[in-house]
Amino acid sequence: MTPDEIRGLFLFESLDDEQLAWLAEHGVVETSAAGTEVLAEGDPATCFFVLLDGTVSLLRTIGGERAEISRTDHRGSYFGATQAYLQDDVTSRRVYLMTVVAVTDVRMLQLPAAEFGPAVRSWFPMGVHLLEGLFWGMQATQAVVSQRERLLALGSLTAGLTHELNNPAAAAVRATAALRERVAGMRHKLSLLASGTLDPATLPALVRLQEEAVERVAKAPRLSPMEASDREDELADWLTDHGIAGGWDLAPVLVAGGLDVTWLATAVGTCPVTATEAAVRWLAYTVETEALINEIEDSTTRVSTLVGAAKQYSQLDRAPFQVVDVHDLLDATLVMLGGKFGTGVQVHKEYDRSVPLLPGYAAELNQVWTNLIDNALAAMNGSGVLTLRTSHSEGRLLVEIADTGSGIPPEVVSRVFEPFFTTKPVGEGTGLGLDISWRIVVAKHHGDIRVESEPGDTRFRVWLPLTQP
């Protein structure tokens, strides 16, 4: 091309004669037939292209498939090594960021990036400094805000986990203290029973009754408040008739343990009348002791479950890349966010258990589920239904996270994955949660993430390949 022809391209219209001559000397006009791949995403960025004639399509690989980003026939449009002017070695400078395909026969001006980049730096030093400042400034800002986003999420999760751990831990401590008192009381009552006028065969019989009482505690039926009240009244009257003081205090304990008047009458019938009260209180201690042991077991099991979920969520003791059950990841995330649900949010799990194991970076996928579920909870504002659904087809896993919240306005739904864009009020969101999720799903796992939203029904769909890349 001649310098005058190059001047006709809007990109170069303000260059002087010397600069245009340089472009004419170093530029080469290339042609590509329709359907030809001009350049491929990920290949070394060796050339800067300017469209002269024809139509090209720009594509990005998403979810293992090429998706068209834009299509143009505008003369002067440019693509390829568009960041050749950068002096530092960064990925966006070294490789093509997208694939370009000739839709029709095309003619292009091709400039070698290794020569064009330094030329631009020498021609426009101030402009290049401004562009570099903008580029690196955005990179640094995104890194800092991304780190802040992670720290805020970690702090929120830590606070929730601490709260969840505190409840069962405190319950176990209280139950242990009460258990110590009940065991001491049982020893005291046992000494009273042993010092009474008991037949030698009576004490073993009471021990057997104690074992029966323990079994009845384990099988105690769930009673309605009315049923429990009626049985307590009946048992309290029986205790009073047998001269046992404090029957109204003992009755709720015995009823909760599944002991009724009929069984208790049989139990104390093996003891002398003088030992009836001691035997009843001994059995009451037995019931309370067993209930406290069950409470401690439930509390410690809950603590163990939470710790296990935290380990599953963080993946700290596992390899970064592994083959995992996606349902374990989702359940661990739900546990970690449990403190945010409150009483007004219902969780529906529609898991397809036939889904194959997923190869991927489990800890980072947990961050995706965290961002999506946290956004769903914010949208529902404490009341609604959160649905987690899984399925698979054609070698891809689908995870769908849906909520019944207010929805995303139609005019901004296409922007939710943009960095720093947020629909939350100022101070409540950085706008990087979904951008980070997009990068993890698309860039790192070669999957895809999309959203459909209307008031009362917002659905984020995440596709992940079931074959290791």
Helix 261-268 vs helix 202-218: crossing angle, to nearest 10: 160
Burial 232-246, CB ≥16 within 10 A → b, else e: beebbebbeeeebee
Residue 273 DSSP class:
G
**What mean pLDDT is reported for the chain?**
80
Number of Cα atoms under 13 Å in the Cβ half of residue 382: 2
* 26 contacts 115 by C-beta, under 8 angstroms: yes
Which pLDDT band, with edges at 50, 70 and 90, does 287 fall under? Answer: confident
SS3 44: strand
For residue 426, the model assigns a pLDDT of: 44
Average pLDDT over residues 414-437: 64
Which pLDDT band, with edges at 50, 70 and 90, does 342 fall under? Answer: confident
* 436 contacts 367 by C-beta, under 8 angstroms: yes
Task: Select from 377, 369, 367, 424 the least CA-distant residue to 405.
Answer: 377
Backbone phi, then psi, for 59, in 5-degree steps? -130, 150
* 451 contacts 460 by C-beta, under 8 angstroms: yes
Q: What is the pLDDT of residues 241-282, one digit of tens each?
A: 878 887 788 888 888 888 888 888 877 776 666 567 777 777
- Choose between 422 and 288: higher pLDDT: 288
Cα angle vertex 233, ends 229, 234, to 5°? 120
Residue count of the chain:
469
Burial 136-160, CB ≥16 within 10 A → b, else e: eeeeeebeebbeebeeebeebbeeb
- Taking the whole predicted model, whether its pTM rises above 0.75 is answered as no
- Lookup: tokens for 465: 């390949």
Q: Which of 49-63, 306-320, 346-360 has the highest mean predicted lDDT (pLDDT)? A: 346-360
Helix 125-195 vs helix 276-314: crossing angle, to nearest 10: 160
Task: Select from 222, 265, 217, 213 the least CA-distant residue to 242.
Answer: 265
**pLDDT over threshold 70, residue 419:** no
Task: Select from 150, 156, 158 the least CA-distant residue to 368.
Answer: 150
Q: Is 64 left (phi over 0), alpha (psi -120 to 50) or beta?
A: left
- Lookup: tokens for 290: 């067993």
* 80 contacts 48 by C-beta, under 8 angstroms: yes
If you search the block for the tokens 């209307």, which residue do you land on?
A: 454
Quote the radius of gyration of the chain (alpha carbons, Å).
Answer: 36
Alpha-carbon distances of 82 from 75, 107, 114, 463, rounded to whole Å? 17, 18, 12, 31
Q: What is the pLDDT of residues 120-159, one digit of tens each?
A: 888 888 877 777 777 777 766 666 666 666 666 666 666 6
Which pLDDT band, with edges at 50, 70 and 90, does 225 fall under? Answer: confident
If you search the block for the tokens 């095309």, which residue do you land on?
A: 106
Q: Give the integer Cα–Cα distance in Å for 449 and 464.
A: 9
Q: Give the integer Cα–Cα distance in Å for 430 and 322.
A: 30
Widest Cα–Cα separation across the chain: 124
If you search the block for the tokens 């309605």, which residue do you land on?
A: 224
* 261 contacts 269 by C-beta, under 8 angstroms: no
* 75 contacts 53 by C-beta, under 8 angstroms: yes
For residue 102, the model assigns a pLDDT of: 93
Q: Which residues contact 352 (CB under 8 A, 6 or more apart)?
A: 390, 391, 392
Which pLDDT band, with edges at 50, 70 and 90, does 196 fall under? Answer: low
For residue 358, the model assigns a pLDDT of: 92
